[in-house]
Amino acid sequence: MTKIIGLTGGIGSGKTTVASYFSEFGIPVYIADDEARKLTELPETLAQIRNKIGSEAFNENSLVREKLAAVVFNDPEKLKQLNAIIHPLVKQHFDNWLKNHSNARFVIKETAILFESGSYLDCDVIITVTAPLELRIERVLKRDKTTRENILNRINNQWTDERRISKSDYTIDNTDLTKTKNQAIDLLKKLTIQQN
């Protein structure tokens, strides 16, 4: 039976970096944010978003992610409505993906909102990736065209590290990449031994 490893952490913690290490070790990795982005572009999804969130997130018929983020991260009700559209689609997509990887010993499901979405309930093991706040902000500023204020707004809409860690089996500190990779290797050895 394939074990699902939930991999989570706040924005800028480096979840995707950690996921890429597991991928290097031959473990199938599902990046929920990437898949959610693709599913959001489907015409039927766009119609639901326009209906629930409003046309202020669009330029004519195109969804503008920055505008969508500005709307939902400033309105908890709209964020809830968006999640109610996207989460079931991602869950269904992941379930289909999992069927295609049923021969794998482990798979990684990487998602920022593992707990908030309730998908942690489907995981056998949960890993939280952490990093100091300023380092996270610095990483996101480099990666996205955004402001410090927007990043803090998103962080405040996510669970705290402390809350995530309290519900996780393992934690990986992603401050130094070499040490991070070594933690991932050690953790994989531990999980493999437990499964044998």
For residue 70, what are the contacts with CB-CB under 8 A and spacing of at least 6?
Answer: 150
- Mean pLDDT to the nearest integer, 77-101: 94
Assign residue 13 a region (left: φ > 0; alpha: ψ between -120 and 50; beta: otherwise). alpha
Q: How far is CA 19 from the centre of its chain?
A: 10
Whether 40 has a binding-site annotation, put simply, is no
Reduce the DSSP state of residue 186 to 3 states and report it: helix
Quote the pTM value.
0.90
Provide the residue type at 195 as one letter: Q
Whether 175 has a binding-site annotation, put simply, is no
Split at pLDDT 50, 70, 90, the class of 130 is very high
In the chain the domains, ranked by start, together with CATH numbers, are: 3-195 (3.40.50.300)
Residue 196 has pLDDT above 70, yes or no: no
Whether 54 has a binding-site annotation, put simply, is no
pLDDT tens digits, one per residue of 41-81: 999 999 999 999 989 999 988 899 888 988 988 888 999 99
Whether 26 has a binding-site annotation, put simply, is no
Whether 14 has a binding-site annotation, put simply, is yes
The whole-angstrom separation of Cα 76 and Cα 41 is 22
Q: What is the pLDDT of residue 170?
A: 97
CA atoms within 13 A on the CB side of 158: 20
Strands 58-59, 62-63: pairing is: antiparallel
- Mean pLDDT to the nearest integer, 22-36: 95
Whether 180 has a binding-site annotation, put simply, is no
* Sign of the Cα pseudo-torsion (164, 165, 171, 177, in order): positive
Strands 62-63, 3-8: pairing is: unpaired
